[in-house]
Amino acid sequence: MKYLIIGLGNIGDEYADTRHNIGFVVADAFAFDRKVQFESGRYASVARATLKGRTFVIIKPTTFMNLSGKAVMYWMKKEDILPENILVIVDDLALPLGTLRLRKKGSDGGHNGLISIIEETGTTEFARLRIGIGDNFAKGYQVDYVLSRWTKEEETILLPKIAIAVEIIKNFALVGIDRTMNLFNKKSEE
């Protein structure tokens, strides 16, 4: 069984540790947990990990957020991975800070990375782990907010949630999406 784990974000030092890059942070944490390193690959930084007979291809697209679908489509085809074995990790303004919400499929929710993935793959039938970044910004300042760095208080809330997100990725492959949603969706809001 092979799984494609996609952490969404933007490459470059100016985007490191910004709210929009929480997908990269979780992908890094999962790679660290599995003791694997990212290497430069086509359209993405790529790491490969195994767990109990499952293979994980972990990618952080290097195409920038708005073109994430190009990287996802390439690696999906290259590794021959079906949409139901894909998990996209993405920031979500509509969720309170630190809330983790796993979904089997769904809309793009206005997220440019998800819009690109849906356009390129032609499907919404892939799992996504949405991580709440809150919406503490004045009208008209959404872009500034998502591209700004976390405060120390926000980091305190988020750090334990990143560890839970790593467990969600493992469970997604080991017990399936439905059981993982039952196990974690309510728990992550506590």
pLDDT in tens, 118-158: 999 999 999 999 999 888 777 877 787 788 888 888 889 99
Over 70: is that where the pLDDT of 188 sits? no
Catalytic residue list contains 111? no
Predicted model pTM: 0.93
- Give the Cα separation of 163 and 113 in Å (integer): 23
Residue 4's pLDDT band (cuts 50, 70, 90): very high
Q: Is domain 2-189 in CATH 3.40.50.1370, yes or no? A: no
Q: CB within 8 A of 64, min separation 6: which ones?
A: 10, 11
Catalytic residue among 9, 10, 20, 92: 20
Q: What is the pLDDT of residue 32?
A: 97
Q: What is the pLDDT of residue 172?
A: 97
Q: What is the pLDDT of residue 15?
A: 87
Q: Strand 44-51 and strand 54-61: pairing?
A: antiparallel
Answer whether 135's CB lies under 8 Å from 94's CB.
Answer: yes
Each residue of 14-55: pLDDT tens digit?
888 888 899 999 999 999 999 999 999 999 999 999 999 999
The domain limits of the chain are: 2-189
CA 10 to chain centroid = 12
Q: What is the DSSP string of 40-84?
A: EETTEEEEEEEETTEEEEEEEESS-GGGHHHHHHHHHHHTT--GG
Percent pLDDT > 70 in the chain is 97
Q: What is the DSSP string of 75-90?
A: HHHHTT--GGGEEEEE
Residue 187's pLDDT band (cuts 50, 70, 90): low
Average pLDDT, the chain: 92
Question: For residue 149, what is the DSSP state?
Answer: B
